[in-house]
Amino acid sequence: MFNIDITKFKKYDRPGPRYTSYPTAPQFNEKFTSSNFLDEILRTNYGENLPDLSLYFHLPYCDTLCYFCGCNMIITRNRDRVKEYVSYLKKEIDLVRSYLLPERKVVQLHWGGGTPTHLNPDEIDELASYTNQCFSFHENSENGCEIDPRGLTRAHLEALKNNGFNRISMGVQDFNEKVQKATNRIQPEQMTRQTVTWIRELGFQSINLDLIYGLPFQSVKSFEHTVDKIIDISPDRIAVFNYAHVPWMKKHMALIRPEDLPIAEEKLQILKMTIEKLTAAGYVFIGMDHFAKPDDEMAIALKEKKLYRNFQGYSTNAGTDLYAFGITAISQLQNVYAQNLKTEKEYYNSLDKETLPIAKGYSLTEDDQLRRYVIMKIMCDFELTFSDVENKFKLNFKEYFANGLMGLKEFQEDNLIEITDDKIILHEMGRLLIRNIVINFDGYIERNEDNARYSRTV
C-alpha cells in the first residue's frame, strides 16, 4: 500500500507534458507531409525481423457532450454521417495496406474516440470484419475497444466479441449524481454494473474502468464512495485521470464553472485517498494514472520491465509500428510521428485522391531518439541505467545530461529518487511525480523551444 506525502504533491504540482510521445505533439509541424510519411513507410517495410503492427482507429462520434471531455470528438446523431466515415476508414485501410508486406502481423488493435460504440452493431461488424480480412492478426493479439454504456446494447458487445475483441475499456468518471449532472454525463451505477455483467458473460479477457478526479462538486468523501464501488465491481485495470480544465483549448469546458471545481488542496486529498485505497485493495500502481491486478499482463510487464508507452498510454506491446486510422489519429513508426487531417472533409478529399491523409508530423533527430529512449525508460521501468544508454548511443551520459541531472537534485533531496554512479531509481512517491522527473530530460523545454500550455502534473 502506498503512503502518500501530500506536502510533496503540493510542491511539485506544476504544468508539464504527459509524454505519450517524445517529442510531444506541440513539436509536430506541417512541413512533414504525406509524402514524408510514405517515404518512411516504404523505407521501413523491407528486410528481416520487421516490427509487428499495432492498429488504432479513431471513431470520433458521440451523441451527447461530456463537458469534461478532452478528446477529439464530434457530437452527432446523423447515422448517414457515421456510415460515410466507416466507408472512408475502409479506404484508408486499403491505402495503407497496399504499402505493407502481407506477412506483417498485428499484435494490438484499439478503437478509441469519441465513442466507438456510437457505431451500431452492424457498423461495428462491417469495420471490424473488414480489418480482419485486410490484416493478419497474431493469435494472441490484444484487441481493445472503448465503450459508453449509455445507449449500449448487448448486441454491441456481441459484435465486438465475434470479431476478435478481447478487452473493453469503459468510462465511469464518478457515480455521484450531482457530479454527473454538472458534467452532463448521466450514467447510473446500475447501468455500469449491467454492462460489466454482459462483458463478463461474453467472455472478454479484461475490463478497464476510467475515473476522473477534480470534477465539479467532488470531495474526498463523495469520491471515496465511487472508489469503494469500483473496488467492489473489481475490474482488471483502473485508470484514474486528473481533470485538466483547459477551456482555452476545449471551448465546451467553459460550461463547467471554475467555482464548482474542488480547490487544489481537496483535489490532492482525493488523489491521495484514491491511490491508498486502490493499492490497499491489491491493485498494483503501474505508473501515471494506471492500476492493475497483480496477475494482469500490465502488472507482469511492469515487473519484468517490458512495459511500453504510446499515444494510448501504457501498453505491453513494445517495438511495434503503430498505424492510426481516422481523423486526428497519430501514427508512430520508429523515426516519425504522423497525424491525420482534422476534419472529415479534408480527410475524405485526401483519400479520394488516394493520398495518405496527413496534416502534420515530425521526423526525429538523433537527439530526439536519445531523449525519447531515456524518458520512456524512466516512465516504464522507473529506473535508468546510465551505462545502458552509453552503450546504445555511444556517449558519456553524465556529460550529455549534466543539466538534467542537476535538475534532479531537488527530487533526490526529497527522497523521491536515488541516484547512484550508474543509475536513477525512483521511489514510490517519485513514481507518482514521474512527469516532473522526466521533464528534466526534455531537450525542447531545456532549450526553451516548447511554449505549449500543459495541464498540471498532479
Q: Where are the domains of the chain?
A: 1-19+366-443, 24-325
Confidence of residue 64 (pLDDT cuts 50, 70, 90): very high
Percent residues over pLDDT 70 in the chain: 98
- Joined grid coordinates for residue 125: 461488424
Main-chain dihedrals φ then ψ at residue 442, nearest 5 degrees: -85, 110
pLDDT at residue 1, as a whole number: 66
Reduced to 3 states (helix: H, G, I; strand: E, B; else coil), residue 403 is helix
Q: Average the pLDDT over 136-145 and give the result.
A: 96
Residue with the three cell numbers 468510462: 171
The predicted-structure confidence for 438-452, as pLDDT tens digits, reads as follows: 999 999 999 988 777
Q: What whole-number distance in Å separates Cα of residue 135 and Cα of residue 56?
A: 13
pLDDT at residue 457, as a whole number: 66
The predicted-structure confidence for 215-268, as pLDDT tens digits, reads as follows: 999 999 999 999 999 999 999 999 999 998 889 889 999 999 999 999 988 998
Q: Is the peptide bond before 144 cis (omega within 30 degrees of 0)?
A: no
Give the type of residue at 238: I
Q: Kindly tell me if the per-residue pLDDT of 6 is higher than 90.
A: no
Angle, CA 412 vertex, CA 406 and CA 417 arms, to 5°? 115
Q: What whole-number distance in Å separates Cα of residue 326 and Cα of residue 73?
A: 11
The predicted-structure confidence for 324-345, as pLDDT tens digits, reads as follows: 999 999 999 999 999 999 999 9
- Ramachandran quadrant class, 245 (left: phi over 0; alpha: psi -120 to 50; beta: rest): beta
Contact (Cβ atoms closer than 8 angstroms) between residue 140 and residue 317: no
C-beta atoms surrounding 101 within 10 Å: 10
The predicted-structure confidence for 381-417, as pLDDT tens digits, reads as follows: 999 999 999 999 999 999 999 999 999 999 999 999 9
pLDDT at residue 46, as a whole number: 86
Angle, CA 171 vertex, CA 168 and CA 172 arms, to 5°? 125
Q: Kindly tell me if the per-residue pLDDT of 426 is higher than 80.
A: yes
The predicted-structure confidence for 284-312, as pLDDT tens digits, reads as follows: 998 878 999 999 999 999 888 888 888 87
Q: What whole-number distance in Å separates Cα of residue 53 and Cα of residue 397?
A: 32
pLDDT at residue 388, as a whole number: 97
Q: Kindly tell me if the per-residue pLDDT of 374 is higher than 90.
A: yes
227 by Cβ neighbours in 10 Å (0-12 / 13-18 / 19+) ranks as: buried
DSSP string for residues in 125-171: HHHHHHHHHHSEEEEEEEEEEEE-STT--HHHHHHHHHTT--EEEEE
Q: Whole-number mean pLDDT of the chain? A: 94
Q: What whole-number distance in Å separates Cα of residue 129 and Cα of residue 106?
A: 14
| CA atoms lying within 13 Å on the CB side of residue 231 | 17
Radius of gyration of the chain (CA): 22
pLDDT at residue 453, as a whole number: 67
Residue of 13, 7, 38 lying closest to 333 (CA atoms)? 38
In CATH, what class is 24-325? Answer: alpha beta
What is the dotted CATH code of the domain comprising 1-19+366-443?
1.10.10.920
Q: Kindly tell me if the per-residue pLDDT of 270 is higher than 90.
A: yes
